[in-house]
Amino acid sequence: MLATRVNSNLVFNEPTLAMDLYYHPLARQSQKTLIALYEKQASFSPHIIDLSNAFSRRSFQQVSDACKLPLLHVRTKEFFNDASIIIEYLDNYISSGTQLIPIDKTQALYVRLYDRLSDNQLDREIEAWLEAVNTSSNQIYIKRLERAMLTSMEYFDRRLANNHWVCGESFSLADCAFIPCLITLESRLQLLDYEHIGRYWIQAKLRGSVSQVIEEIELTLATLGQSELVVHT
């Protein structure tokens, strides 16, 4: 089936994509990808992969030697295993739903910048801090990691003072990256104590794509018999 997409002065036929997503509901990069898929109202076949399970890992290796999540398989034999690249692909080829990367080049640059800041800075700081909390007895080291993470959170809080979403009035790739960090931190920090992140977090949870991801997380935790999100990036 072909759909028609109108973008600026271009009109072209857009095929309905058949896609498989390999992911884990507790992994932040997988959550980021799921939020984007729901925002784009994309149809896809979900495959939950637990890389800590030997059988699940071996099965997944038949699909991808790299064994890295998330992985989007488009049935034109294309594979993408980076969340940001997956979202760029979705935004380029699916016209329905939310436009996650602005057409304006300057706006798009800032969206990609804050996507990178979430992934390469805040997400890694969260992972390092949680790993230290779970494995280290060095409280000075843990506090140093916590301070670095909180500094990044304060930076985003200041950013949101003048922005409805991370990069302006529109939900974007940058929000897809930032929200999974907040999902992980909700049970560990008082997010509502942040003046602007608190407001942002309330509105994010009211968004359909985010509530769907949170619902799947809660279902997965209940199935595993866990009370909170573990380090599972």
Amino acid residing at 22: Y
Query: Rounded CA gap, 64 and 113, in Å?
Result: 29
Check residue 228 and give its pLDDT.
53
Reported as a pLDDT band with limits 50, 70 and 90, residue 135 is: very high
pLDDT in tens, 165-194: 999 999 999 999 999 999 999 999 999 999
Check residue 7 and give its pLDDT.
39
Check residue 9 and give its pLDDT.
37
Query: For every residue of 170-199, which 3-state class applies, written as one string?
Result: CCCHHHHHHHHHHHHHCCCCCHHHCHHHHH
Percent of the chain whose predicted confidence (pLDDT) is above 70: 89
Query: Rounded CA gap, 110 and 143, in Å?
Result: 31
Query: Rounded CA gap, 191 and 202, in Å?
Result: 10
Residue found under tokens 């884990």: 24
Residue found under tokens 């997956």: 86
Q: Is the pLDDT of residue 116 over 60?
A: yes
Residue 197, both tokens: 């992140």
Phi-psi region of 175 (alpha: psi -120 to 50; beta: other; left: phi over 0): alpha
Check residue 227 and give its pLDDT.
53
